[in-house]
Amino acid sequence: MKSSSSEAVMPSSLSSRASASLADSSSQLAQTAHKPRRNDMAWRWLFRAGVSILVLWVLVPIALLMLNSVSTPEQITGWPKTLTPALSFETLDFFWHYQGVISALGNSLLAAVFTMVIAIVLGAPAGYALARFVFPGMNAYRMIIILSRAFPMPLLALPLAVIFIQVGIDDSILGLAMVHATLALPFAVLITSSLFMGIPVELEEAAWLMGCNRWQAFRRVVLPLAAPGITASAVFAFVISWNEVFASAILTVENRTLTAFLVQSLSESPAEIKYAGGLILVVPALLFLFAIRKYLFSMWGISNR
Amino acid sequence: MRKMPTALALLALLGTTSALADITFFSTQARPLEEAQQMREIALAPYAEAINYMPQETGTFLSRLEAEKTSPDGALDLLGGLHGELGSLTPSILTPLNDLQGSLADTGISKQYMTLGKLGGDQQRYIPWMQATYIMAANRKALPYLPEGADLNALSYDELLAWGRNMQEATGSPKLGFPAGRKGLIHRFLEGYLYPSFTHSVVREFRSDDAVAMWQKFREIWAVTNPRSTAYGFMQEPLLNGEVWVAFDHTARLKDAFNKQPDQYVAFPAPAGPSGRGYMPVVAGLAVPANATNPDASRRLIRYLMTPEAQIRTLRATNFFPVVEAELPDDLPASIRMSGKAVAAQSSADDAVLSLLPSGLGQQSGLFNKIYRDAFVQIVLRDADIEETLDILAPRLQTLINTSGAGCWLPDPPSDGPCPVK
């Protein structure tokens, strides 16, 4: 069998799923040799339909957003709708010249990157500790991490703002990133801990035997295997920071993030402005995801290109 | 991976380029993006100093102010908000502006508005800034269905009901609309229009027989109202896409429809009930936080905003009318011309009943609105028994009025002590 030979070179975290899918396909192959093809065809169509629905689920709203943001206001409120917009860039142009959008975009990116860095620098070691060591109070620690998500932001923002003003990090991107990192940390810790659990400790032990110290073994063996997962939790942190509105709106005055800057006003603006603003909020996050897609894909066992 | 530091440096550079403006103007008004832009470009641009105009949602506006009150130097220089929003703050957050009273005395600001600015105390906590009100708007397609003999400028609630029925019968779908969504201002319709029109009161007659009759009438009107009304925030949208032909809303929330298709819509006064034509003006005010770093600069900006010229510019940007005496120019946008006429017809009607914003309620004003919204939800949407519902809500209304110690305001006759609910 082909699968057994490929399993040997594959890291074990990925191998179980990969071998399962290979086994699937080989059993399918075996089936097609004996049974009539109709059943097989039906499954294939079901699979295709399912995939199409999932893909459309994601793409249709984005497509609508794009179409409507280059339509004229008359087209948006008018009926029947067309799929060929008039290509009017008036509303998008309005945003480009809207005072403060550019600096808010910069603030948003900066806050998201800081959040990402803080969440990973603090979250990955915590995840490693949870995965590799047994220590007293471990379960309580796990609970406490999740507990930090139990308080709604509107409740936290006011006391936080008071403290931030006293400490002097009010209205700063770094201060905001610290709040966002608090929101992102539970996910970072939990994702990385399950990630490190999936990497056999024997691999590390083998590295120690070959003369690595703890840090070297981590850096050369564990980290490359964990990189995709760490990236995924970093993306999560990025998206959490990017989408967060309430804390940003209260903790900053001059240095607003894009979401805090736009979302509040958008909900009360005419439809064409809503569409264009929505597009502007979505596109940077999409571009970011696109740029790091190969790390994400390799985590799911899809070959990276 | 190697590109990371460069990207970070670039981002850091981007983050620091946002310029620090001299005066931070924090406001809950002119929030929609286009209005905010016009506020900056039309209303504030001629001012000599740089202003950072920042529109805010009410929740974050209040939270930010509460957070800053302990700080010796605040980040905010000037506040713009509705009477109810400024009134729900701890009064000591706002600097007394009594010294401005003198210089504004001959500008023609109504005394009632100045009194509202004291928020029930002795000090002038805010200066009335601009005003608006609620009116009706109709698509011209709806006009043929007006009941016979009805005058658009002197409509009654009975005629509105008949009109709604006619439209529903003719088109097959209900074409009346009210802003009863989460962001809608239906509570103002109840407090300032329906109650005064049927009971000549807001608080005292809350559960009177007249009020019961009023709710019955509104239930009938609701039966020919578009059920999507419970999702509407700004009526300009359902008007523009044709879901609704006849709607009630704030002038600033109808403006888009009037401006985009001025020939398609008409503006007219709200209907009248047995007690007259209730209407409620809305007042926004300017205030200075007690910890503003440069209160003189804030006062200078207030003086500028109160000049007739700046008030006309603000009108163009926000659709809120001047509170000072100012000559309106001829070249105003369609929405202002149309709603201006309807507003004038409404306030000068023979049967007009002036209804003021709830005053003296302070931090209870949110709860006050909730009682009216609750009554609406229970009676109209959930079909609860009218008298029973009002009997449950009346003691709550009394409790919150007693807590704040607010005396009666128009259209209720003045009271000694807290306004009584009969």
Q: For residues B27 and A82, what is the distance between their CA atoms, to the nearest angstrom? A: 39
DSSP classification of residue B415: -
For residue B96, pLDDT over 90 is answered with: yes
- Residue B229's CB: how many other CB atoms inside 10 A? 24
Contact B241 A79 (CB under 8 A): yes
Total Cβ atoms within 10 A of residue B158? 17
How far apart, in whole angstroms, are the C-alpha atoms of residue B57 and residue B106? Answer: 33
Class of residue A15 by CB neighbours under 10 A (exposed 0-12, middle 13-18, buried 19+): middle
- Best probe of the A interface among B14, B17, B27, B33, by most A CBs < 10 A, is B33
The answer to whether A106 contacts B18, with C-beta atoms less than 8 Å apart, is yes
Q: How confident is the model at residue A1 (pLDDT cuts 50, 70, 90)?
A: very low
For residues B226 and B176, is the Cβ–Cβ distance under 8 A? Answer: yes
For B135-187, the pLDDT digits (tens) are 999 999 999 999 999 999 999 999 999 999 999 999 999 999 999 999 899 99
Residue B120's pLDDT is 75
- All domains of chain A in start order, with CATH: 2-90 (no CATH), 100-268 (1.10.3720.10)
pLDDT tens-place string over residues A233-288: 898 899 899 989 888 988 888 888 988 888 877 877 888 888 888 888 888 888 88
Buried/exposed code over A58-96 (b: 16+ C-beta within 10 A; e: otherwise)? eeeeeeebbbbbbbebebbbeeeeeeebeebeebbebbe
* Mean pLDDT, residues A195-223: 90
- Across chain B, mean pLDDT equals 89
pLDDT, mean of residues B96-118: 86
Tell me the mean pLDDT in the region B57-80.
Answer: 87
> CB contact, 8 Å: A161 with chain B?
yes
* B300-354 per-position pLDDT tens digit: 999 999 999 999 999 999 889 999 888 888 888 888 989 988 988 888 888 989 8
Q: What is the pLDDT of residues A85-141, one digit of tens each?
A: 777 888 888 888 887 888 888 999 999 999 999 999 999 999 999 998 888 988 898
Beta strands in B67-167 (DSSP E): 78-82, 127-139
H or E element at residue B177:
strand B176-177
Q: How far is CA A195 from the centre of its chain?
A: 16
Q: Residue A299's pLDDT is what?
A: 56
Which stretch of DSSP H or E encloses residue A255? Answer: none
Instruction: Test A268 with B75 for CB contact under 8 angstroms.
Output: no
CB-based contact, B18 to chain A, within 8 Å: yes
Asked if pLDDT for residue B394 goes beyond 60, the answer is: yes
Best residue in B20, B23, B52, B60 to probe A by mutation, most A CBs within 10 Å? Answer: B60
User: What tokens does B150 get?
Assistant: 């009805």
Q: Which two tokens stand for residue A82?
A: 């067309």
Residues of A in contact with B15 (CB under 8 A): 103, 106-107, 110, 173, 255
Whether B12 has a pLDDT exceeding 50, the answer reads no
Of the CATH numbers 3.40.50.300, 3.40.190.10, 1.10.12.10, 3.20.20.30, which one belongs to the domain with range B133-280+354-404? 3.40.190.10
Q: What residues does each domain of chain B span?
A: 21-132+282-340, 133-280+354-404
Share of chain B above pLDDT 90, in %: 60
DSSP string, A165-227: HHHT-TT-HHHHHHHHHHHHHHHHHHHHHHHHHHS-HHHHHHHHHTT--HHHHIIIIIHHHHH
Give first-to-last CA distance, chain B, whole Å: 74
At A296 the pLDDT is: 66
What's the pLDDT score for residue A298?
60
Separation between Cα atoms, residue A223 and residue A196, nearest integer Å: 9
Beta-carbon contacts of A221 under 8 Å, excluding residues fewer than 6 positions away, are A203, A204, A206, A207, A212
The strand pair at B281-287 and B23-27 is best described as unpaired
Superfamily of domain B21-132+282-340: Periplasmic binding protein-like II (3.40.190.10)
Kindly state the average pLDDT of the residues A205-231. 89
pTM for this predicted structure: 0.77
Distant-in-sequence, close-in-space partners of B344: CB < 8 Å, separation ≥ 6: none
Please report the ipTM that was assigned to this predicted complex. 0.70
Q: What is the DSSP string of B20-73?
A: PPSEEEEESSS-SHHHHHHIIIIIITTSSS-EEEEE--HHHHHHHHHHHTTSSS
Work out the pLDDT band at B393, boundaries 50, 70, 90.
very high
Check residue B174 and report its DSSP letter.
Answer: -
Q: What is the pLDDT of residue A20?
A: 46
Show the beta-strand stretches assigned E in chain A: none
pLDDT score at A35: 56
Query: Does residue B189 carry a pLDDT above 90?
Result: yes
Distance of CA B260 to the CA centre of its chain: 22
* Closest to B197 (Cα-Cα) out of B280, B125, B139: B280
